[in-house]
A and B are shown apart, each in its own frame.
Chain A
Amino acid sequence: MAPTIESVYLGNGGLSEGNNKRSNRFVKATWKNNLTALVVDNVELCRVLERENLRAYGVETVAVETGEAAVELVASGSTFNLIFIDIYLPTMSGPEAVRQIRAMGVRSKIIGLTAIITEKDEQDFFAAGIDEFYEKPLDPDWFVPIIREVDNQI
């Protein structure tokens, strides 16, 4: 059964008139599967917003601050359909974390994130094993089709 999108996201900056502001505005995506995501970003603001954006679209999301934490989580057996990871992380870089995660045999969709895409960063990150590379912030125009694709492939 194809996933259904019950309503379209409305870019309305006004306040809700009633209860449950979030549900009035967000896509009530009904995915075929229970989808999970891992967000890896050392900037708290970005990490929180990335996590909340994904949760708003029905993806159960965990967020960590470092590449080491991401690698440790995956090594401990946690599985995620999607991984969103910033390129610039302290100590263990995004590309290094991705290399280690891929070396464990993980085939999840990995999306690299950055504030500004440069050619070199793009080459490095794809060489490490990401599937896609986007500039922040998360935009439903590009991440919803990715979620849909992952949902359809399960």
Chain B
Amino acid sequence: MVGTDLRQQLRNYIQSSHEQGILDETFDRVKNLESDGNPQFLSEIFSMFCHDAENGIAELARFLDEPVIDYENVSAFAHQLKGSSSSVGGNRMVLACCELRQACSNKTKEGCFEAFDKVKREYCILRDNLNFIAQMEKTILTNEARRRSQ
């Protein structure tokens, strides 16, 4: 049955994301917060996360572009990004943010640049993961609604 296949595909995708370390158990808890009363919950959460992350990354880029790096501000934004990414279960992005914070503590310019590149890479991977999951869910819900109305 198509609906079951899609659900299984989604489960497999999420499982694979876990195995790659992209998502952790916090993601599962967030996903389970969705209720029938608010089927858009996950999409809303993912949108909030992406909005916050993109703002945070833009600020980090700005600070790291300065001739003299303000390590305190870079660290503060890395801290905030860590909080957001850990809230959605973005395990690898969390680790990248921690590396950036460590580079700030060590006050190493090169270290900061490398760690920031990693943050950006892991954000893109996480964003694509979350978007795919949200899209799959939407398709499943649309198909279910269509079947119920037939």
Interface stretch among B30-38, B63-71, B122-130?
B30-38
Give chain A residues whose Cβ lies under 8 Å from the Cβ of B117: none
Interface flag for B29 (CB, 8 Å) = yes
CB within 8 Å for A46 and B83 given contacts A11-B25, A15-B137: yes
What total of chain B residues lie within 8 Å of the partner, measured CB to CB? Answer: 37
Give chain B residues whose Cβ lies under 8 Å from the Cβ of A15: 7, 10-11, 137, 140
Interface flag for A3 (CB, 8 Å) = no
Type the 1/0 row for B81-111, where 1 means its CB is closer than 8 Å to any CB of A.
0111011110000000010010000000000
Interface flag for B80 (CB, 8 Å) = yes
Tell me whether B36 and A21 are in contact (CB under 8 A). Answer: yes
Give chain A residues whose Cβ lies under 8 Å from the Cβ of B31: 13
Give min CB distance, A111 to chain B, whole Å: 15
Tell me whether A136 and B33 are in contact (CB under 8 A). Answer: no
Interface flag for B58 (CB, 8 Å) = no
13 A-B residue pairs with Cβ-Cβ distance under 8 Å, sorted by A, are A12-B32, A13-B14, A14-B14, A15-B10, A20-B35, A22-B32, A49-B33, A53-B33, A56-B32, A88-B80, A115-B79, A115-B86, A137-B86
Give chain B residues whose Cβ lies under 8 Å from the Cβ of A10: 32
Interface residues of chain A: helix, strand, loop or mixed (majority): loop
Give min CB distance, B120 to chain A, whole Å: 18
CB within 8 Å for A21 and B35 given contacts A13-B11, A136-B83: yes
Interface flag for A25 (CB, 8 Å) = yes
- Out of A13, A45, A56, A137, name the residue touching B52 (CB < 8 Å): A45
Interface residues of B, Cβ cutoff 8 Å to A: 7, 10-11, 14-15, 18, 25-36, 41, 45, 48-49, 52, 76, 79-80, 82-84, 86-89, 98, 101, 137, 140
Interface residues of A, Cβ cutoff 8 Å to B: 9-15, 19-22, 25-26, 43-46, 48-49, 52-53, 56, 88, 114-116, 135-137, 139-140
Tell me whether B87 and A46 are in contact (CB under 8 A). Answer: yes
Give chain A residues whose Cβ lies under 8 Å from the Cβ of B82: 115-116
Tell me whether B10 and A45 are in contact (CB under 8 A). Answer: no
- Cα A46 to Cα B88 in complex, Å, equals 9
Give chain A residues whose Cβ lies under 8 Å from the Cβ of B89: 137
CB within 8 Å for A49 and B45 given contacts A12-B28, A115-B79: yes
Tell me whether A43 and B137 are in contact (CB under 8 A). Answer: no
Top 7 nearest A-B pairs by Cβ distance? Answer: A115-B83, A22-B35, A45-B48, A25-B32, A13-B14, A115-B82, A13-B28
